[in-house]
Structure 1
Amino acid sequence: MAGNAAKTVARTVVEYQYPWREKLAKYKDELAKGVYGYWELGAWKPLSISARRRAQLRKEVLLAGENWPYDPERKEMKTRRKGHKCDRISAEKRAHTVELMEKMPQMLADYRKRRWEKKMKEEDAKEKL
């Protein structure tokens, strides 16, 4: 009799100490379905546990030093800086212009060569007539 009472008291103390274990066991399947809800047969189903209670349970588990595997994956951080779009575009245009100016002598040489070849073809065509 004393042994049963001691077990009951010990179980009560453990339950009081870790009340989140029962809740976690109860909602384990539900939490695994997603953070906000899930699609089932083409219809959106919200979780049976509210967001407030879910957050409270998550906090209790983390404070106890346990792992909480039900958080969604984090998205990658955006690396683009803030600012005006016109400033970014004008900077890109200036950089592109610098690249083109570096290629300019070769482009002019190609243009002159094409123009010269065209002129020679026209002269050959006139001579053949």
Structure 2
Amino acid sequence: MASKAAAAAAAAANAAAKGAAEGYQYPWREKLAKYKSELTKGVWGYWELGAWKPLALSARKRARLRKEVLLAGENWPYDPPKKEMRNKRKGHKCDRVAAEKRATTAELMKKMPEMLLDYKKRRWEKKMQEEEGKS
């Protein structure tokens, strides 16, 4: 029994020495080739015939494979596209709306004398049309 354990330990040591000599790494190239079709379907899963299907590759294994590829200096094209950052400031909507209302009111107050003159002119024209219609 002890001889089996010793033989297994010796075999493991030989394999480790051989792997270190050859520069053996985590076999990410084979895994990438194996799961390429699965990785192109999305990050979390995909819809198929109206049903959501998770990837056959777990998130932990996917993350480990991604990490190995990036550490090897290769490109990882399977990440989802990044969204643009929000440039709107947070705050209460009522404050924003009130500020907009104040701004539009100020613009309308600048136009007020013209608007009043137009209104008086329209009223006068309407009055004149009514008088012409009566006579």
TM-score band w.r.t. shorter chain: 0.7 to 0.9
The CA distance in 2 between the partners of 1:126 and 1:102, in whole Å, is: 38
Residue matched to 2:53: 45
The CA distance in 2 between the partners of 1:101 and 1:92, in whole Å, is: 14
Residue matched to 1:6: none
Query: 1:48-84: CA deviations, max 9, x gaps?
Result: 0011111111111111111000011112222110111
CA pair 84-48 structure 1, distance change in 2 beyond 3 A: same
Q: Secondary structure at the match of 2:56?
A: coil
Select 2:96's aligned residue among 88, 99, 124.
88
Which runs of no fewer than 5 residues in structure 1 stay unpaired? 1-8
Shift of 1:21: 1.2
The CA distance in 1 between the partners of 2:70 and 2:110, in whole Å, is: 59
Select 2:112's aligned residue among 104, 114, 120.
104
AA paired with 1:35? V
Residue matched to 2:9: none
CA pair 27-13 structure 1, distance change in 2 beyond 3 A: farther
Residue matched to 1:63: 71
Report runs of 4+ in structure 1 exceeding 6 Å deviation: none
Residue matched to 2:133: 125
Which runs of no fewer than 5 residues in structure 2 stay unpaired? 1-17
User: Is it true that 1:54 corresponds to 2:62 in the alignment?
Assistant: yes
The CA distance in 2 between the partners of 1:56 and 1:91, in whole Å, is: 50
AA paired with 2:29? R
Count residues in correspondence.
Answer: 117
Residue matched to 1:13: 22
- Calculate the TM-score normalised by the size of structure 2: 0.79
Query: 1:5-42: CA deviations, max 9, x gaps?
Result: xxxx68x935x225211111111110011111111122
Give the share of equivalent positions with the same residue, in percent. Answer: 75
Measured on the aligned residues, the alpha-carbon RMSD in Å equals 1.8
Select 1:29's aligned residue among 22, 37, 56.
37
The CA distance in 2 between the partners of 1:93 and 1:123, in whole Å, is: 41
